[in-house]
Amino acid sequence: MSASKRADTLASLQKILHKHYKPHKNSERPVLEQLLFACCLEDSKPDAAEEAFARLEESFFDWNEVRVTTVRELSELLRGLRDPERAATALKQTLHSVYETIYDFNLDGLQKLNLGVAVKQLEQYRGTTPFSVAFVVQNSLGGHAIPVSRSAFETMVILGLASEKDAATQSVSGLERAVPKNKGVEFASLLQQFAADYAASPFGTNIRNLLLEIEPTAKDRFPKRGAKKAEEPSAAPPEAADDAKKKAAGKAPTKPTTKQDAKSEKKEVAKKEVKKDDKSKAAAKSEKPVKKVPKKKPADAAPDKKKPTKKSTKPIAKKASPTAKKSASKQLARRKPR
């Protein structure tokens, strides 16, 4: 977009927003509280942010108590905002970072510093955004800055006032030059309300008509609705269902979760064992002992023959008879030498 076209679009934006919205007067607060209020205001309507911030102040004794509170509890107190959880996270992180840096919950000393130094210090705190820093610069530090929220950047991309790269870095060059300082607070309030309506209903007819009224060529850059949800998977065929049932039946039983379940399981197991014993006893009674019948030898079979025993070849020594002994002694006596 050329510089002249850009200037015309910005002028049309201010004129039409002033016709459809009324400026919201911000409350006077200390620097730290303005920074925390900006965390609630981004992408939300001013009235909802004021109510949520007042509820937050009434619910806690001091900011240190808020710092140590969980994001979930803070989100419940910040209900009514566009994104309560994101606002609670930014608020909690900011309090943590400020306390860890200066060990206090007072940033009024930034008003005495040079504007550039004060801005750098604000940007170093974790949880701050370009919107919250610009909001403090405009409302507490006396500088000229236009706080632009995330949703406001999206509308500027649609209007052709910013590119996708500008939206990613959250910076629009030349915006402060196009809007004079004495009109900055009013324009920022109108832009904030317009962006909050867009964030609540980006595809609404009213918001699209308003965008076309500002820039007729914005129709080509309207956001497109997301693709429809993927179709749910169809039911499994009956065969697959049967297989699944069989697999489930084959699985081992799970352990009982309560004592009563354990007792009932033990009783069932005992009953089954008793039934098995009764069946086995009945089967034993019904069965009669079978007598063993000796096998008959076949008639034709010849009787077993005894195996012949071998006689030993060694001669058996016989005892000498007494008569033989006597005859031998007689013969010896006869043969004595002369």
Which range, 90-94, 169-173, 254-258, is most confident?
A: 90-94
Domain count, the chain: 1
Count Cβ atoms below 10 Å from residue 175 Cβ, excluding itself: 20
> Quick check: is 73 in a domain?
yes
> Quick check: is 338 in a domain?
no
d(CA 171, CA 6): 15
Q: Each residue of 186-215: b (16+ CB within 10 Å) or e?
A: bbbbbbbbbbbbbbeebeeeebbebbeebb
pLDDT by residue (tens digit) across 271-317?
666 555 555 555 555 554 544 555 554 444 444 444 544 444 444 44
Nearest Cα residue to 147 out of 187, 118, 201, 207:
187
- Amino acid identity of residue 88, one-letter, is A
Q: Which residue has the higher pLDDT, 166 or 234?
A: 166
Q: Kindly give, in sequence order, each residue whose CB lies less than 8 Å from that of residue 43, ignoring residues fewer than 6 positions away.
A: 82, 83, 149, 150, 151, 195, 196, 199
pLDDT by residue (tens digit) across 192-246?
999 999 999 999 999 999 999 998 888 888 888 774 443 333 334 444 444 444 4
> Quick check: is 128 in a domain?
yes
pLDDT by residue (tens digit) across 100-151?
999 999 999 999 999 999 999 999 999 999 999 999 999 999 999 999 999 9
d(CA 109, CA 107): 5
d(CA 89, CA 106): 20
Q: Kindly give, in sequence order, each residue whose CB lies less than 8 Å from that of residue 103, ignoring residues fewer than 6 positions away.
A: none
Token reading at 318: 């016989």
d(CA 116, CA 110): 10
d(CA 186, CA 177): 15
Q: What is the pLDDT of residue 119?
A: 95
Burial of 165 (0-12, 13-18, 19+ CB in 10 A): exposed
How confident is residue 268, by pLDDT bands cut at 50, 70 and 90? low
CATH number at residue 185: 1.10.340.30
Cβ atoms 17, 191 nearer than 8 A: yes
d(CA 107, CA 122): 9
The Cα-based distances of 137 to 95, 126, 225, 305 in angstroms read 18, 17, 36, 133
Q: With 60 as the cut, is the pLDDT of residue 260 above it?
A: no
Q: What is the pLDDT of residue 248?
A: 46
Token reading at 101: 């840096």
Count Cβ atoms below 10 Å from residue 169 Cβ, excluding itself: 12
> Quick check: is 191 in a domain?
yes
> What value does the mean pLDDT of the chain take?
78
> Quick check: is 121 in a domain?
yes
> Quick check: is 200 in a domain?
yes
Structural domain span for residue 55:
3-219
Q: What is the pLDDT of residue 163?
A: 82
Can you list the alpha helix ranges (DSSP code H) found in 182-299?
Answer: 184-200, 205-214, 238-250, 259-286
> Quick check: is 129 in a domain?
yes
Q: What is the pLDDT of residue 269?
A: 56
> Quick check: is 140 in a domain?
yes
Token reading at 328: 């031998």
